[in-house]
Amino acid sequence: MLTNRRTIRIEWGDCDPAGIVYFPRYFEIFDICTSALMESAGFPKHKALEQFGVTGWPLVDLGAKFHASSRWGEDIEVESRVTEWGRSSFKIEHRITRGDTLCIEGYEKRMWVGKNPDDPSKIRSVPIPEPVLEKFKS
């Protein structure tokens, strides 16, 4: 299973007045790491949109379980992988650790979408392209 790992330094602007990461920042980290995962598979977003004629893979669900906080100046490692594939949806799981400490377990569910041919101002789900499935499942 294709897994991407990324080390991220917690910056002052990531933290709340208590000096710990303000929780919405983790969801931004998830988004960044999803893009990095797709890029590591050979599908950087700007090229994938053009290659497959889609508008993106927007978020339709997300969640997280918080185990330990992170603070300014610490390095965290984010491990991201796709754990479920549907016809047009996929689920990415993210694990954030600091050394041997599990900080967060999170997930995103995303939908592969293209323009709606009946109304180009709207989007609709489209099947995930075979080259993408093949790369992740190999």
Position 138 pLDDT exceeds 80: no
pTM: 0.93
**pLDDT at site 12:** 95
Q: Are 49 and 114 in contact (CB under 8 A)?
A: no
| Residue where the block lists tokens 């933290």 | 15
| Residue where the block lists tokens 């929780």 | 23
Q: Which amino acid, 119? A: D
As a whole-number percent, the residues of the chain with pLDDT over 70 amount to 100
**pLDDT at site 133:** 95
Which tens digit of pLDDT belongs to each residue from 100-136? 999 999 999 999 999 998 998 999 999 999 999 999 9
Fold of 3-137: Thiol Ester Dehydrase; Chain A (3.10.129)
Give the start-to-end residue ranges of the domains of the chain.
Answer: 3-137
Strands 113-116 and 119-125: antiparallel
